[in-house]
C-alpha cells in the first residue's frame, strides 16, 4: 500500500536492518505519520527528504566501514532537519562527522544497562540508569568533535550522543518493546521535530479494502487461509473488496498441530469463509523426504504450497492470490534491498519466481498487534485474535533434520501436551507462542531400571508483542516439571525434555 508524506512527517531511511518498519510504526503510534525509503536509491531518498519534517537513520546488518551509505548520510545532514540515528545509523552519523567507530570491546545483544551521563534533549525525564535492547558488534568508540556524549554502556563508550541540538544518535533500539523508556526517547525527539500528531494507525480498514478492490478489479482471486489471524484478516478484507469473486483455499499439508485442521474448518465456516479443502499431505511429505536443512524445508514447502494453490486457482479460474503475509515474514526473508536473510518464510522467499498468480498482500507492512487491531474492527472472535501463531510450514520446522512419519507423530503429541498444560495453567493468553520441538539430539535415559536411548524434546515459550523481539517466558517450575513428566511418560521414544531460555535476538522464536 503506497503512501506519501502529504503532510510533514518522519522519514525512516532503511539501511536493511530488521527494525526499519518497526521504527516507523512506533512513530505512528505516537501520532506522527512516517514512511520508509531505501538508502539504496539516492534519487528516491532525495525526493522523499524534501517532504520530511525529521529523519531517522535505521539499523543495518553491515559495518559502516563498508562505506556504502556515507553519501546518503551526508544528504540527510545537509538538510538541517532533526535527525536520529539508531544502531547502524548512530555509527554512520559518528563516522561521517569525524568520530571513531570500531569493534566494540564487549559486543552487546539483548538487555543491556545504560548509564546516562547527560540527559540533554533526547533523554530528558529519564532515570540515570535503565535497561535497553542492544544488537551490535561495532560501536562508537570516540564521538565527533562537537558531539555531547549522553550515555554509555560497557560495550558502547558513546551509547548516545547529541550535536547542535538537532542531530542525535543511540546505539540501542528504542523502537523495540524490551527497551525501557524507548517510547519516551522517540517522543522527546518527535517533540523537537514538531510534526503534526494526527496519525491513527488503526483506522485503515476501509483503505485496505479499497486497495484490494483496485488491485484485483473484476478478476477472481483465491485466498490462502490457515485459520490464523493474519490469513483470516487478509481474506476478510479481500471478501469485503471483491465479494463472491474471492475463493478461500485451505491446504492440509499434513504438517499441522494436533486438532488444527478440524478447528480451522469450523472457525472459517463461522466467519462465512467456506474454504475449498485440499488434502495434499502425501505430496508435501514426499517432497520433504530426506530434506534436513531448515531453509531448504521452507523452500520446499513454499514450492509445493504454490503448486497446490496454482492448481486450485486454475480449477477456479482465479488470477490473483491473497495472502496474509505480515512484515516480520518479509524482513526475515531478506525481501528488501540490503536486508540480510534470517530465515525464508514459505509465503515470501519460499515462493517460486515463476509463480503465475498475481500476489495481493494487504497486510505486508503490518505487525501482528496491528493485524489484531484490524481483526477487532472486523469483529472477529477473541480466540482467533489472540491465537498463538503457527509457522506456515507447520511442524516441518519443529522437527530438526529430515522429517519422518514417526518424528511428526512424536512432535505433534509433544506439542499438544505443551499446549494443554500451558492452557490448563491459565497462561496461554499471556504468551506469544508455546510449543515443542523435536531436536536432532539423542540422549540416554532410564526406564524400569534399564538403559534407554531416545529423543530430546525442547519446550519453547516466549513473550512478545510484534514478533520482532521476544523474551523467554518464566514458566512456573511445577508446570515445566509436569510437561516433562507427561512427555516422557506418554511418548516412550522421548527420554529427555529441555527448556529454551534464549531471547530474540540472538535466537529466532522458532528453532528453524
Residues with a catalytic annotation lie at: 87, 173, 175
How many Cα atoms sit within 13 Å of 450 on the Cβ side?
Answer: 4
Dihedral of the alpha carbons of 481, 487, 490, 492, in degrees to the nearest 10: -120
Residues 150 and 158: beta-carbon distance below 8 Å: no
DSSP state of 147: P
DSSP state of 102: E
At residue 199, φ and ψ (nearest 5 deg) are -85, 135
Beta bridge partners of 461: 434
Question: Cα–Cα distance between 43 and 380 in angstroms, integer?
Answer: 43
DSSP state of 395: G
The DSSP-derived string for 481-505 is HHHHHHHHHH-TTEEEEEE----BT
Task: Give the CA distances from residue 240 to residues 64, 205, 244, 436, 446, in Å, rounded to whole numbers and listed in that order.
Answer: 46, 10, 9, 37, 58
Contacts of 382 (CB under 8 A, 6+ apart): none
Question: Cα–Cα distance between 258 and 396 in angstroms, integer?
Answer: 14
- All three cell numbers of 483, joined, read 510437561
Task: Give the CA distances from residue 269 to residues 3, 130, 265, 266, 415, in Å, rounded to whole numbers and listed in that order.
Answer: 35, 49, 6, 5, 26
Sheet of 320-322, strands arranged across: 276-279, 246-252, 221-224, 320-322, 358-360
Amino acid at each position: 500500500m503506497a503512501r506519501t508524506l502529504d503532510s510533514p512527517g518522519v522519514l525512516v531511511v532503511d539501511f536493511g536492518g530488521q527494525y526499519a518498519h518497526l521504527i516507523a510504526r512506533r512513530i505512528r503510534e505516537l501520532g506522527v505519520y512516517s514512511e520508509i525509503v531505501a538508502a539504496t536509491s539516492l534519487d528516491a531518498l532525495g525526493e522523499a527528504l524534501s517532504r520530511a519534517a525529521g529523519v531517522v537513520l535505521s539499523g543495518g546488518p553491515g559495518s559502516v566501514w563498508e562505506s556504502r551509505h556515507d553519501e546518503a548520510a551526508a544528504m540527510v545532514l545537509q538538510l538541517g532537519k532533526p535527525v536520529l540515528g539508531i544502531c547502524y545509523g548512530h555509527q554512520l552519523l559518528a563516522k561521517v562527522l569525524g568520530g571513531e567507530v570500531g569493534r566494540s570491546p564487549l559486543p552487546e545483544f539483548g538487555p543491556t544497562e545504560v548509564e546516562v551521563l547527560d540527559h540533554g534533549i533526547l533523554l530528558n525525564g529519564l532515570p540515570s540508569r535503565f535497561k535497553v535492547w542492544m544488537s551490535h558488534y561495532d560501536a562508537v568508540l570516540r564521538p565527533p568533535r562537537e558531539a555531547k556524549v549522553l550515555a554509555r554502556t560497557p560495550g558502547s563508550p558513546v551509547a548516545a550522543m547529541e550535536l547542535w541540538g538537532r542531530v542525535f544518535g543511540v546505539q540501542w533500539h528504542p523502537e523495540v518493546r524490551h527497551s525501557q523508556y524507548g517510547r519516551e526517547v522517540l517522543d522527546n525527539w518527535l517533540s523537537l521535530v514538531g510534526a503534526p500528531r494526527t496519525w491513527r494507525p488503526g483506522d485503515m480498514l476501509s483503505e485496505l479494502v479499497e486497495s484490494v478492490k483496485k488491485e484485483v478489479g473484476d478478476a477472481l482471486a483465491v485466498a490462502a487461509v490457515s485459520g490464523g489471524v493474519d490469513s483470516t484478516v487478509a481474506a476478510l478484507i479481500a471478501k469485503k473488496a471483491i465479494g463472491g469473486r474471492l475463493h478461500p483455499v485451505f491446504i492440509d499439508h499434513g504438517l499441522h498441530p494436533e486438532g488444527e485442521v478440524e478447528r480451522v474448518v469450523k472457525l472459517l465456516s463461522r466467519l462465512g469463509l467456506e474454504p475449498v479443502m485440499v488434502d495434499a499431505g502425501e505430496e508435501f511429505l514426499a517432497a520433504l523426504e530426506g530434506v534436513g536443512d531448515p531453509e531448504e524445508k521452507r523452500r520446499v514447502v513454499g514450492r509445493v504450497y504454490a503448486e497446490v494453490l496454482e492448481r486450485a486457482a486454475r480449477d477456479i479460474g482465479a488470477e490473483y492470490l491473497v495472502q496474509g503475509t505480515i512484515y516480520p515474514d518479509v524482513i526475515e526473508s531478506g525481501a528488501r534491498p540490503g536486508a540480510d536473510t534470517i530465515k525464508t518464510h514459505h509465503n515470501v522467499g519460499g515462493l517460486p519466481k515463476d509463480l503465475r498468480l498475481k500476489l495481493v498482500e494487504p497486510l505486508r507492512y503490518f505487525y501482528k498487534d496491528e493485524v489484531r487491531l484490524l481483526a477487532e474492527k472486523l469483529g472477529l472472535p477473541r480466540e482467533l485474535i489472540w491465537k498463538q501463531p503457527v509457522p506456515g510450514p507447520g511442524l516441518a520446522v519443529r522437527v530438526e533434520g529430515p522429517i519422518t512419519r514417526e518424528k511428526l507423530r512424536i512432535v505433534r503429541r509433544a506439542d499438544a501436551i505443551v499446549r494443554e498444560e500451558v492452557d490448563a495453567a491459565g497462561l496461554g493468553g499471556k504468551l506469544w507462542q508455546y510449543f515443542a520441538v523435536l531436536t536432532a539430539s539423542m540422549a540416554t535415559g532410564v526406564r524400569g531400571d534399564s538403559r534407554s536411548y531416545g529423543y530430546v524434546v525442547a519446550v519453547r515459550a516466549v513473550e512478545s508483542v510484534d514478533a520482532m523481539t521476544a523474551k523467554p517466558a518464566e514458566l512456573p517450575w511445577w508446570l515445566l516439571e509436569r510437561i516433562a513428566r507427561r512427555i516422557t511418560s506418554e511418548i516412550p521414544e522421548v527420554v529427555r525434555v529441555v527448556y529454551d531460555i534464549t531471547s530474540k535476538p540472538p535466537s529466532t522464536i522458532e528453532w528453524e
